[in-house]
C-alpha cells in the first residue's frame, strides 16, 4: 500500500477562514510583532509568510529586522516597548539568533501574556504543571496532524484560555526524534501530560531503529536531512516530519500515514501562531 498523506495545508485553510470570521467580529484588531536579527534568508522567508498570512485574515503585523551585529540590549529594549504596546498582543522572536546572543535571556524579555510561540520559561513551566496559558503552535499542529488520520479518538484539553480538541493518545507509543526547544521539548512535555508513552532520541542514541520501529507515532524535529529510512518505520504508524528531516519520496510506498514538507506541519504551525495571538488579544 502507498503512504496516506496528511494534508496540513488544507486543514490550515479551514482554520484561517474561521479565524478571519473571528477577527472581523472583534472590536480591536489583534496585533503580532516579529523580531528578526541577522540576514538568514530562511528566517526572513518564514517571517514574511507569517506576515502575509496574518494580514490576509485581518491581523496587524509588524516586522522588526536588525543586522547580525545589532546589540542584544537594544533588541531587549525593543521587546520591552512591544510589551507596553496595547496594540500588540503577540511577540515572536524568530530563531535562530546570532551566536553572540544569549537565546534564553532574549526569550525571557517577552511578557508571558504575549509569548504566543510559548517559549518563555514561565509558560513552559505552566505546561509542566498541567495548566498551560497557551499550547505551542508546533504542539497544536502535530496534534491536528494526528487527528487528521482518524486513528485515535478525540478528547478535550483545557488551557487557561480555551478548551481544545486533542487526539486521545493515552498509552500510545510516541518517539520524538530530536529534543530541541521548538519541537522535541514542548512535545515531550505535552505528550507526557496526556499520558502518552514518550521516547526521545537524539544524535547520541544507539540503535535508533529499535526506538522508531516500536513507535505508533514518530515525530522528527532535528533540522538534519535524511535522519530516517523506510526500514526504521513500522507499517501502520504515523510519521510526522516537522523539520525537513526525511526524504519523503523514500516513504511513499510504506503503509503509513505521512506528514511531509512542504504542505504538512508548516502551514498548521503558522495558523496556530495566529490563533494564539487572537486568543491573547481577547485577554480572557
CA separation for the pair 169, 101 (Å, rounded): 38
Instruction: Specify the domain boundaries for CATH 3.40.50.720 within the chain.
Output: 137-266
Q: Is 225 left (phi over 0), alpha (psi -120 to 50) or beta?
A: beta
Q: What residue ranges of the chain are covered by domains with CATH 3.40.50.10860?
A: 27-117
The answer to the question of whether 34 is labelled as a binding residue is: no
Is 179 assigned to a binding site? yes
Q: Give kind and range of the element (H or E) at residue 210.
A: helix 208-213
The one-digit pLDDT tens for each residue of the chain (284 residues) are: 799 999 999 999 999 999 999 999 999 999 999 999 999 999 999 999 999 999 999 999 999 999 999 999 999 999 999 999 999 999 999 999 999 999 999 999 999 999 999 999 999 999 999 999 999 999 999 999 999 999 999 999 999 989 999 999 999 999 999 999 999 999 999 999 999 999 999 988 989 999 999 999 999 999 889 999 999 999 999 999 998 899 999 999 999 999 998 889 999 999 999 999 999 999 75
Is 180 annotated as ligand-binding? yes
CA separation for the pair 196, 51 (Å, rounded)? 35
Q: Which of 256, 221, 264 is nearest to 239 (CA)?
A: 256
pTM of the model: 0.96
Pairing state of beta strands 90-93 and 60-66? Answer: unpaired
Q: What is the CATH number of domain 27-117?
A: 3.40.50.10860
| Strands (DSSP E) found in 56-125 | 60-66, 90-93
Give me the CATH code for the 137-266 domain, please.
Answer: 3.40.50.720
Amino acid at each position: 500500500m502507498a503512504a496516506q498523506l496528511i494534508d496540513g495545508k488544507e486543514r490550515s485553510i479551514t482554520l484561517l477562514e474561521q479565524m478571519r470570521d473571528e477577527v472581523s467580529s472583534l472590536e480591536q484588531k489583534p496585533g503580532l510583532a516579529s523580531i528578526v536579527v541577522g540576514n538568514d534568508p530562511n528566517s526572513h522567508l518564514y517571517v514574511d509568510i507569517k506576515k502575509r498570512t496574518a494580514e490576509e485574515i485581518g491581523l496587524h503585523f509588524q516586522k522588526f529586522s536588525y543586522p547580525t551585529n545589532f546589540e542584544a540590549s537594544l533588541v531587549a529594549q525593543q521587546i520591552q516597548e512591544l510589551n507596553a504596546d496595547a496594540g500588540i498582543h503577540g511577540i515572536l522572536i524568530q530563531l535562530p539568533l546570532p551566536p553572540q546572543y544569549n537565546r534564553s535571556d532574549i526569550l525571557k524579555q517577552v511578557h508571558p501574556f504575549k509569548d504566543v510561540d510559548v517559549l518563555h520559561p514561565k509558560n513552559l513551566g505552566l505546561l509542566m504543571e498541567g495548566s498551560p496559558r497557551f499550547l505551542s503552535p508546533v504542539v497544536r499542529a502535530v496534534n491536528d496532524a494526528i487527528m487528521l488520520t482518524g486513528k485515535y479518538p478525540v478528547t478535550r484539553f483545557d488551557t487557561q484560555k480555551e478548551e481544545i480538541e486533542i487526539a486521545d493518545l493515552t498509552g500510545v507509543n510516541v518517539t520524538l526524534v530530536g529534543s530541541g526547544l521548538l519541537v522535541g521539548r514542548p512535545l515531550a512535555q505535552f505528550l507526557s501530560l496526556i499520558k502518552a508513552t514518550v521516547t526521545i532520541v537524539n544524535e547520541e542514541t544507539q540503535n535508533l531503529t529499535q526506538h522508531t520501529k516500536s513507535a505508533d507515532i514518530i515525530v522528527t524535529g532535528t533540522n538534519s536531512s535524511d535522519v530516517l529510512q523506510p526500514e526504521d518505520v513500522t507499517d501502520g504508524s504515523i510519521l510526522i516530519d516537522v523539520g525537513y528531516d526525511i526524504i519523503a519520496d523514500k516513504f511513499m510506498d510504506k503503509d503509513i500515514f505521512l506528514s511531509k514538507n512542504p504542505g504538512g506541519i508548516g502551514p498548521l504551525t503558522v495558523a496556530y501562531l495566529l490563533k494564539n495571538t487572537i486568543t491573547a488579544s481577547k485577554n480572557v
